[in-house]
Amino acid sequence: MTVSPRNCERVVLIGWGAIGTAVARLLAEVQSEARIVAVAVRDPARPRSTLPDGARLISRPAELSDVDADLVIEAAGRDSVAPWARAALGAGVDFVVSSTSALAEAALLDELCGLARTNRAQLIVQPGALGGVDALAAARHMGLARVEHRIVKPAHAWAGTEAESLCALNALDAPVAFFTGTAAEAAARFPQNANVALTTALAGIGPERTRITLIADPAATLNRHEITASGDFGTLDVQIANRPLPENPKSSAMTALNLVRLIGNRKAGLVV
């Protein structure tokens, strides 16, 4: 994969589900100069009428070598991270992770960081549905003593996960905390819903020391994240409530918005 200087950021999206399609729509709405040059899908033979103009369909990581891209963004699920990240970082192209739970595997995280360093590329963990990640990451340089993250979602958003065996999702009449443990355990057991658990952990004190509580709330209509941290820097208390994407109640609109912000900042003269 060759990368040449240009004013236009050329992006490859891995995945064309709720997040990928929302990113493409938002880029068009804000009239971004970034171009989606390729979209990776499992079945390229299936017709897709909504692809961005000029975007080609690919299905194998090896095909990245034929795409002239500046940035590869994963939005396809945990299993897609390792093969596509290896291909992108191995070619010296920055790779953005959305399914951060994949990085709970310490060996994979070490491997990808090594590839990034060797090839002068970046493995980028985007904030996803969270706010305050920048402050948390900054605070760790002075030392963090405690980081806790509560994830509150409507009961139906936990359907199809282990939560179904831990509480009566369809019969709840009050919020239930059905899991409390480390970020590593939360990401491994609830990869679709708790990607942000690893984001918080990587920004702060790591997967084994970060405490996660998962809550099903029958009255909730938004996905809420509550992060508290303390250390020599002081205290941090951040809460954000996100609207879920209509196509996927497990994903928040803020995830797509943060990706659009990231893409825009790559070429912006002013970055905030």
CATH code for the domain of 46: 3.40.50.720
With respect to residue 93, please indicate whether it lies within any of the assigned structural domains: yes
With respect to residue 104, please indicate whether it lies within any of the assigned structural domains: yes
Q: How confident is the model at residue 163 (pLDDT cuts 50, 70, 90)?
A: very high
Domain end, chosen from 107, 125, 143, is at: 125
With respect to residue 258, please indicate whether it lies within any of the assigned structural domains: no
Residue 2 has pLDDT above 60, yes or no: no
The Cα 223–Cα 244 span in angstroms is: 7
Q: 96 and 118 in one domain?
A: yes
Q: How confident is the model at residue 8 (pLDDT cuts 50, 70, 90)?
A: confident
- Ramachandran area for residue 58 (φ above 0: left; ψ -120 to 50: alpha; else beta): beta
Interacting residues of 237 by C-beta distance below 8 A, sequence separation 6+: 227, 228
Residue 5 has pLDDT above 70, yes or no: no
Domain region containing 88: 10-125
Least confident of 55-59, 115-119, 186-190, 225-229: 186-190
Mean pLDDT over residues 123-146, rounded?
96
pLDDT at position 3 is: 41
Active site residue: 141, 149, 156, 225, which one? Answer: 225
Mean pLDDT over residues 16-26, rounded?
94
Residue 48 has pLDDT above 90, yes or no: no
Q: What are residue 92's phi and psi, to 5 degrees?
A: 80, 25
Q: How confident is the model at residue 192 (pLDDT cuts 50, 70, 90)?
A: confident
Selection from 48-52, 191-195, 209-213 with the highest mean pLDDT: 209-213
Q: What are residue 75's phi and psi, to 5 degrees?
A: -145, 45
Residue 47 has pLDDT above 90, yes or no: no
The Cα 72–Cα 94 span in angstroms is: 6
Q: Find out whether 244 and 223 touch, Cβ atoms under 8 Å.
A: yes
Q: 140 and 114 in one domain?
A: no
Q: How confident is the model at residue 151 (pLDDT cuts 50, 70, 90)?
A: very high
User: Nearest-CA neighbor of 10 among 40, 41, 39, 34?
Assistant: 34
The verdict on whether 156 is a catalytic residue reads no
pLDDT at position 4 is: 42
Q: 141 and 118 in one domain?
A: no
CA distances from 5 to 44, 184, 254 (A): 29, 39, 30
How many domains does one find in the chain? 2
- How far is C-alpha 169 from the chain's CA centre? 25
Domain end, chosen from 79, 109, 125, is at: 125
Number of continuous H segments (helices) and E segments (strands) in the chain: 8, 13
Amino acid letter, residue 119: N
With respect to residue 267, please indicate whether it lies within any of the assigned structural domains: no
The Cα 64–Cα 74 span in angstroms is: 13
pLDDT at position 187 is: 86
- pLDDT tens, residue by residue, 49-82: 789 999 999 999 999 999 999 999 999 999 999 9
Mean pLDDT over residues 163-173, rounded?
94
Helix (H) or strand (E) holding 79: helix 78-90
Q: 168 and 101 in one domain?
A: no
Residue 39 has pLDDT above 80, yes or no: yes
pLDDT at position 80 is: 96
Domain end, chosen from 108, 125, 142, is at: 125
Residue 231 has pLDDT above 90, yes or no: yes
Q: 235 and 209 in one domain?
A: yes
